[in-house]
Amino acid sequence: MEITAEQFSRIESYLPTQRGNVSLSNLQVINAILYVAENGRKWRALPNRFGNWHTIYTRMNRWAKAGVLDRVFEQMQQQQLVRIKLEAVSLDSTIIKVHPHGTGALKKTDLKPSANPATAGVPKFIWLPRVLGAP
């Protein structure tokens, strides 16, 4: 799902103004964030049509820390540009049984990050938007 330029004009005032030599517009960044959220992809797997994944991730991370993403997604929900549905699954050790051979192994303490982004594992930043009441 991507928002159009007309839809973006309704939420543009909630975003910080762009300064300096910026390669990606705020519209491109919002559409990339929506793409990652909708498809559950890793940032490194973002299609090239959105631009450099690291640039988009960095801007999204700054916005999340400053509270900009909360304001923008709140406005997008109020204006019914997007609908966010959160689903969560929780598992703990009382549900999942460990194989008998897996209980006594020595722990590896010297873990090194994977050089392959496909096997790098869980993202280091997870943003959970707040869902508003029914519109």
Helix or strand run (H / E) with residue 33: helix 26-39
Q: How many CA atoms lie within 13 A of 51 on its CB side?
A: 18
Q: DSSP states of 69-124 as a string? A: HHHHHHHHHHTTS-----------TTTSPPPGGGSSPPPP------S-GGGS-S-S
How high is the pLDDT of residue 56?
A: 92
By residue count, the chain amounts to 135
Instruction: Report whether 79 contacts 47 (CB < 8 A).
Output: no
**pLDDT tens digits, one per residue of 4-52:** 888 888 888 888 887 877 888 889 999 999 999 888 888 899 999 998 9
pLDDT at 59 over 70: yes
How high is the pLDDT of residue 95?
A: 60
N- to C-terminal Cα separation, the chain: 20
pTM above 0.85, yes or no: no
CA separation for the pair 98, 74 (Å, rounded)? 42
**pLDDT tens digits, one per residue of 93-130:** 666 666 766 666 666 666 566 556 566 666 666 667 77
CA separation for the pair 35, 30 (Å, rounded)? 9
The amino acid occupying position 60 is: M
